[in-house]
């Protein structure tokens, strides 16, 4: 804003001229001696004063991008209209506080100078111990007119600077907006307090990738004034995420030649969805990660609009093949083949795309934008490889099924692996076996007695991952759920919080099946752009068949997570009377691993009156709504005053028939003072069997909380964005908000170390 600088100089110049002239005259007659014995020039003193004003003035102004209104939008190809909306809210994080500091510094300097000017003999030499002065020229008194002019222009400069600070978002802050005709024009706004919702993904043929927040006025989002300290705290310490920018679906995880490989959907250019390529990282333990160069980029006609989700298959000879979805320039979703350029490279840095891609295109009857996300292949008894791909027909979600012998030529089987009416598009389909008798994972091709199969789908319509357990019939390539009432898309979910596009792989290194899931943000896109990154991955989880219920899977953080545990605190047999909150002294509660067990008073269970009312975590008022037998649990990421807190809790509902039903919930309604974050209440029913106490494991890692109830039968992942309960102010409490029952709790809480997640070193040493 050059005009503002010119204006400032115009006001400052006479002030500077008069003072310099005055100082020049005074310095002819002498100076004053500092304690060190050196002579300090008053011109230097005033120079610092002037520089303070200059930097305070210049750095206080907002950085906006303004274009001449005469230019049409096509003349500005680098800025899309969506980007311009985001840019108008982007100012460096340090500006408000920095401006205040600079203004304070400037004002103090001015007062000091004024006091010096007001002194009756401001430039007299220091007197000796006997009260006499050294010989030499005597200082003369300042001209009253010059003194008044100096003070006048100084006060004028202060007033100008204060006015500019107050109006920095006012009349001089012109933001680029899109008018009703679609062209770009500048318009003057007072303050960017709201932000309209932006959709990302559906137009390109994938699920919605932006967070559609609910805290809106007239359809616009109320923007919270996040500062750098708050946003820096949100970055996690031991969950996988790239160094910057956007990430979503996990892709092609595998263990190869001593390394765990993780590929993921990544935007290398921004903290929003778009320009999707494959990021790549490797690890020895799935905790500490090394970032590698991009594995695959959108450089071919069949994936020019995005290198989308895919899966890896390890062949019997140890070779790796990767199938992935590409989006063409016409937004047709096609399946492509890729493989390592050097199979002997344990890091699999370079990949080759098959020259004959695509290997599969949408079949007749399937829309061009409803054919994506091939699974890991499994072997049939005939020696063929079989895969399934997500799709839909009208509102019926389906998993198409194909056979191949070489991953180049495919035969589609009649019908589908499975279909469920009313569930919409199935994304990121997964299919794998689980053992009914062993506590080990199974390789994807295993079938036979003692084996059940899981079908999982990510529903485009609601962005949740659903699974069901059933029986796979290899001959006709179909799968039948054990209980149709909890079929895929209408029954059990992997996670009842923020968790999507999950993918499993068989870890032959430790004979286990490992689950990855994308954890998106629940704040505003403007905040993500401001902090420079968005999304992370869940802690990898082992996944087993729960043979006690027969309906659920058990998810649990991989054992390597425990290597991050530091000092621990134990709290045994803590009695929580109805309506009490108990602080737990563990220090900072930003990075924790918590194991807790709760025992509710049996007498209260028997005396509680049954009810026909139906309880639901999401609609029953959260942790503030009291019942006879709950809620009770933990308050995570809470400040001392409990003005911010995230309750993770159990609630026991007693039916009119006397039966008990337990719910596991996460209440974000009071998790943050910010307006531009989702504050939902998550949760679901959790099976509790005869003789079991209520158990909970919670991983707290800055802005993410992963909670596992009853050994992982029910899991909730939430993103939390407190404004007060951060750094050392983050605390954890026990609470019991029941009206009748007392609860006894026993806990062990570990502080958690940070994982090493960094670029791969040039010398190749890990």
Positions marked catalytic: 249
Burial class (CB in 10 A: 0-12, 13-18, 19+), 607: exposed
Which tokens go with 524? 């505003």
- In 3D, which of 248, 263, 241 has the Cα closest to residue 347? 263
3-state secondary structure 493-560: ECCCCCCEEEEEEEECCCCEEEEEEEECCCECHHHHHHHCEECEECCCEEEEECCCCCCCEEEEECHH
Task: Report the distance separating Cα 692 and Cα 205, nearest Å.
Answer: 46
Cα 578 off chain centre by: 36
Which tokens go with 325? 């979805």
> Torsion angle, CA of 299/305/308/314, rounded to 10 degrees?
-30
- In 3D, which of 645, 634, 700 has the Cα closest to residue 673? 645
Q: Yes or no: say if 253 and 516 are a contact pair by the CB < 8 Å rule.
A: yes
DSSP assignment of 362-404, as one string?
Answer: PPTTS-TTSEE-PPPPEE-TTS-EEEEEEEEETTEEEEEEEEE
Identify whether 368 is preceded by a cis peptide bond (ω within 30 of 0): no
Task: Report the distance separating Cα 425 and Cα 454, nearest Å.
Answer: 18
The stretches of 187-256 forming alpha helices (DSSP H) are 228-234
Backbone angles phi, psi at 633, to 5 degrees: 165, -130
Number of C-beta neighbours around residue 732 at 10 A: 26
- In 3D, which of 448, 443, 413 has the Cα closest to residue 431? 443
Task: Report the distance separating Cα 688 and Cα 695, nearest Å.
Answer: 10
Task: Report the distance separating Cα 701 and Cα 689, nearest Å.
Answer: 30
Task: Report the distance separating Cα 569 and Cα 594, nearest Å.
Answer: 10
For the chain, counts of helices (H) and of strands (E): 8, 43
Number of C-beta neighbours around residue 17 at 10 A: 11
Task: Report the distance separating Cα 243 and Cα 392, nearest Å.
Answer: 36
Task: Report the distance separating Cα 330 and Cα 347, nearest Å.
Answer: 34
Task: Report the distance separating Cα 519 and Cα 538, nearest Å.
Answer: 6
Helices 42-59 and 2-29, packing angle to 10 deg: 170
Identify whether 358 is preceded by a cis peptide bond (ω within 30 of 0): yes
Which tokens go with 140? 């003369």
DSSP state, 635? Answer: E
Task: Report the distance separating Cα 251 and Cα 517, nearest Å.
Answer: 10
Task: Report the distance separating Cα 235 and Cα 704, nearest Å.
Answer: 9
With a CB cutoff of 8 Å and minimum separation 6, the contacts of 659 are: none
Which tokens go with 515? 């689950």
Cross-strand pairs, 744: 575, 599
Burial class (CB in 10 A: 0-12, 13-18, 19+), 260: buried
With a CB cutoff of 8 Å and minimum separation 6, the contacts of 111 are: none
């Amino acid at each position: 804003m050059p005009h503002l600088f010119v204006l400032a100089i115009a006001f400052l110049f006479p002030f500077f001229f008069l003072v310099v002239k005055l100082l020049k005259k005074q310095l002819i007659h002498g100076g004053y001696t500092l304690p060190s014995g050196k002579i300090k020039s008053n011109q230097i003193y005033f120079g610092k004063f002037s520089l303070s004003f200059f930097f305070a003035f210049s750095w206080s102004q907002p950085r906006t991008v303004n274009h001449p209104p005469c230019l049409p939008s096509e003349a500005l190809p680098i800025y899309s209209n969506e980007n311009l909306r985001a840019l108008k809210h982007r100012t460096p994080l340090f500006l408000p506080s920095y401006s205040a500091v600079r203004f304070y510094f400037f004002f103090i300097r001015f007062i000091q100078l004024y006091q010096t000017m007001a002194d009756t003999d401001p430039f007299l030499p220091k007197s000796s111990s006997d009260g006499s002065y050294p010989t030499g020229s005597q200082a003369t008194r300042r001209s009253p007119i010059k003194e008044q002019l100096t003070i006048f222009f100084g006060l004028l400069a202060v007033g100008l600077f204060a006015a500019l600070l107050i109006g920095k978002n006012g009349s001089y802050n012109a933001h680029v907006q899109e008018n009703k005709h679609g062209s770009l024009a500048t318009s003057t706004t007072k303050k960017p307090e709201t932000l309209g919702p932006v959709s990302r993904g559906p137009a390109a043929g994938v699920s919605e990738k932006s967070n559609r927040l609910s805290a809106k006025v007239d359809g616009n989002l109320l923007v919270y004034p996040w500062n750098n300290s708050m946003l820096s705290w949100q970055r996690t310490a031991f969950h996988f995420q790239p160094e910057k920018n956007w990430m979503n679906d996990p892709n092609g995880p595998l263990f190869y030649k001593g390394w765990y490989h993780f590929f993921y959907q990544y935007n290398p250019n921004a903290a929003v969805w778009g320009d999707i390529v494959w990021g790549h990282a490797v690890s020895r333990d799935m905790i500490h990660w090394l970032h590698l160069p991009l594995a695959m980029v959108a450089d071919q006609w069949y994936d020019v609009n995005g290198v989308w989700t895919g899966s890896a298959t390890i062949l019997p000879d140890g070779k790796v093949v990767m199938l992935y979805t590409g989006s063409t320039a016409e937004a047709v979703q096609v399946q492509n083949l890729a493989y390592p350029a050097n199979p002997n490279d344990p890091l699999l840095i370079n990949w080759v795309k098959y020259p004959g891609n695509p290997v599969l295109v949408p079949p007749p009857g399937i829309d061009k934008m409803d054919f994506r996300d091939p699974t890991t292949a499994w072997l049939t008894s005939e020696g063929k490889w079989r895969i399934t791909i997500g799709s839909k027909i009208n509102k019926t979600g389906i998993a198409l099924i194909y056979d191949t012998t070489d991953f180049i030529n495919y035969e589609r089987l009649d019908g589908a692996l499975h279909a469920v009416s009313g569930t919409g598009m199935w994304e990121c389909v997964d299919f794998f076996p689980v053992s009914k008798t062993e506590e080990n994972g199974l390789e994807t091709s295993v079938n036979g007695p003692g084996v059940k199969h899981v079908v999982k789908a990510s529903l485009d319509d609601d962005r949740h991952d659903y699974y069901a357990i059933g029986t796979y019939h290899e001959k006709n390539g179909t799968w039948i759920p054990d209980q149709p009432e909890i079929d895929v898309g209408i029954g059990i979910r992997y996670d009842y919080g923020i968790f999507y596009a999950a993918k499993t792989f068989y870890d032959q290194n430790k004979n286990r099946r490992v689950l990855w899931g994308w954890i998106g943000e629940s704040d505003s896109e403007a905040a993500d752009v401001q902090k420079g990154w968005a999304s992370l991955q869940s802690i990898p989880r082992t996944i087993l068949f729960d043979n006690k219920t027969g309906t659920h899977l058990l998810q649990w953080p991989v054992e390597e997570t425990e290597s991050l545990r530091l000092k621990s605190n134990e709290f045994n047999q803590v009695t929580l009377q109805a309506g009490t909150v108990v602080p737990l002294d563990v220090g900072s509660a930003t990075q924790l691993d918590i194991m807790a067990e709760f025992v509710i008073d049996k007498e209260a269970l028997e005396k509680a009156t049954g009810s026909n009312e139906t309880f639901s975590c999401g609609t029953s008022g959260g942790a503030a709504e009291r019942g006879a037998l709950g809620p009770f649990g933990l308050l995570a990421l809470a400040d001392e005053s409990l003005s911010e807190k995230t309750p993770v809790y159990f609630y026991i509902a007693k039916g009119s028939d006397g039966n008990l039903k337990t719910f596991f919930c996460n209440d974000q309604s009071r998790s943050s003072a910010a307006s531009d974050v989702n504050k939902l209440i998550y949760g679901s029913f959790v099976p509790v069997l005869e003789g079991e106490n209520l158990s909970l494991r919670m991983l707290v890692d800055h802005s993410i909380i992963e909670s596992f109830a009853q050994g992982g039968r029910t899991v909730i992942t939430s993103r939390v964005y407190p404004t007060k309960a951060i750094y050392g102010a983050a605390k954890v409490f026990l609470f019991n908000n029941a009206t009748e029952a007392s609860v006894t709790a026993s806990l062990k809480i570990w502080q958690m170390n940070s994982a090493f997640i960094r670029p791969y070193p040039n010398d190749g040493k890990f």
